């Protein structure tokens, strides 16, 4: 059940990922490459403008990966933002790869994780990545603990500052927490679909998300929801969001992000866009305040 017990009376502006303080709305770089997250952007100048504007607005967390493009997102980030602002937190993920037919596949063997980490470091111009998610992709023959141990080895070598997890179940999260310092989780979670409506999305875990959100809050771990506005394809059929957006003269996306921000003080949405206008719209969702009745209405309509 969705629980708002942790929602503060006044919205918390920042949270911590390990020893790093971040503002509670980041930027996901997945939409910077071309269609299907493949190849160069349709409008390279617009993609560069989005990155510059993100920093101007005060966004200090960018979520990316070497396999977005592949390589395209990281190359754009380095080109536009390097040398990086002192407070910018770059977050990557390892465990996936792209095939020649543009499909997604797992890359969870220790040597694949190491190669992906080295690629991120090279493309981003870094000696160490601030936060790296172990992106778990089911139907792999690699044991979860073997992949996690490979991440810990990279951390001990100084290539990873903090380890986080992505696309995991509650049991996997608890197992990982017993073996390593985990600073956050990035799972599929949004207001558009309740847990029973999430259905099947390739390579995405939908098990126990409410439990994981609350567990992260209890342990002071960040929760970075991917597809934070909606799964591509399904509509956002939530009449409460529509009504509240109209009443407050907001967009439905702003109300959806405001719901996430109120859901837990450690949630950091990372909506992606290739448009400066949409970026600014998302950023302004931080100022939206939903009262208890509005939160209840939206949650019930999930």
Catalytic residues: 68
**Contact of 47 with 76, CB cutoff 8 Å:** yes
The torsion of the CA quartet 70, 79, 42, 230, rounded to 10 degrees, works out to: 70
Contact assessment for residue 230 and residue 273, using Cβ atoms and an 8 Å cutoff: no
State the pairing for strand pair 89-94/96-98: unpaired
For every residue of 242-289, DSSP letters joined together read HHHHHHHT--HHHHHHHHHHHH-TTB----B-S-HHHHHHHHHGGG--
Can you tell me whether residue 8 is helix, strand or coil? coil
């Amino acid at each position: 059940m969705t629980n708002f017990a942790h929602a503060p009376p006044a919205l918390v502006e920042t949270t911590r990922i390990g020893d790093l303080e971040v503002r509670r709305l980041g930027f996901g770089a997945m939409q910077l490459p071309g269609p299907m997250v493949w190849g160069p952007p349709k409008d390279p100048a617009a993609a560069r403008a989005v990155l510059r504007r993100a920093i101007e607005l005060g966004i200090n967390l960018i979520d990316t990966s070497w396999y977005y493009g592949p390589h395209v997102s990281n190359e754009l980030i380095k080109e536009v933002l390097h040398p990086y602002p002192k407070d910018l937190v770059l977050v990557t993920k390892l465990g996936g790869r792209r095939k020649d037919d543009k499909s997604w596949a797992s890359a969870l063997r220790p040597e694949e994780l190491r190669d992906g980490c080295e690629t991120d470091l090279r493309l981003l111009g870094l000696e160490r990545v601030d936060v790296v998610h172990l992106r778990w992709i089911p139907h792999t023959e690699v044991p979860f603990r073997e992949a996690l141990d490979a991440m810990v080895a990279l951390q001990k070598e100084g290539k990873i500052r903090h380890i986080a997890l992505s696309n995991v179940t509650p049991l996997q999260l608890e197992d990982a927490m017993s073996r390593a310092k985990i600073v956050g989780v990035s799972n599929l979670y949004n207001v558009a679909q309740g847990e029973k409506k999430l259905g099947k999305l390739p390579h995405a875990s939908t098990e126990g998300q409410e439990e994981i959100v609350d567990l992260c809050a209890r342990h002071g771990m960040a929760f970075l929801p991917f597809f934070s506005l909606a799964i591509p394809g399904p509509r956002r059929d939530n009449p409460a969001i529509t009504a509240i957006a109209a009443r407050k003269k907001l967009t439905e996306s702003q109300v959806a992000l405001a719901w996430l921000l109120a859901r837990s003080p450690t949630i950091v949405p990372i909506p992606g866009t290739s448009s400066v206008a949409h970026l600014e719209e998302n950023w302004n969702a931080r100022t939206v305040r939903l009262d208890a009745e509005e939160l209840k209405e939206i949650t019930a309509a999930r």
